[in-house]
Amino acid sequence: MTDYGAMAHQYWARWLPDRYRAIPNPTQFFQDLGEEVSKEIDSLALELEGPDPEQESYLDRVGRMRGARMRAEVIVLQERVRLAPESEIDPEEPTAAPATSSTLPLVVSPEDPEYQQIVQEERQAQETLRRGSDH
């Protein structure tokens, strides 16, 4: 399974539980979805890169290509993987307030049990983006 497939699997299980439960073979579904997403990102990145300008330096070209890849990832992941949650409430946090609540958000400190989960999710997202930009 690609990184994108694994990302989708984790996201859908958490934020789209009804859709996730309706999938007959989740392993195959997310394997296929990951491959499709990877191809779509590659294709869109090439399109976003545009033609090579004359006199473009190597570093400018690399920057343009990486920027296009990152934009492509954001666009495709939003369209295919990170769909709108089925609920505003985090299913893994039963005491979470709805997003429409007028209460101020809580600040998470390193001592908070959720802190390590947030750090781990951020590292996974950065690693996935880094691996994707290496292609």
Model confidence band, residue 94 (pLDDT cutoffs 50, 70, 90): low
Alpha helices per DSSP H over the chain: 3-15, 17-21, 26-49, 58-80, 113-133
In the prediction, which pLDDT does 123 show?
80
For residues 86-95, give the mean pLDDT: 65
pLDDT bin (cut points 50, 70, 90) of residue 134 is low
Cβ–Cβ < 8 Å for 33, 4: yes
Q: Which residues constitute the domain of residue 106?
A: 3-133
Q: What does the pLDDT read at residue 122?
A: 78
Q: What is the pLDDT of residues 8-37, one digit of tens each?
A: 999 999 999 999 999 999 999 999 999 999
- Residue-wise pLDDT for 25-73, tens only, equals 999 999 999 999 999 999 999 999 888 888 989 998 899 899 999 999 9
pLDDT in tens, 98-133: 555 555 455 656 676 676 777 777 788 788 777 766
The count of domains in the chain is 1
Residue with the larger pLDDT of the pair 76 and 114: 76
Contact 5, 30 (CB under 8 A): yes
Amino acid letter, 125: A
CA distance 92 to 27: 22
Which residue is associated with the tokens 């666009």? 75
Q: How far apart are CA 79 and CA 114, in angstroms?
A: 28
The predicted structure's pLDDT at residue 64: 87
For residue 107, the SS3 value is: coil
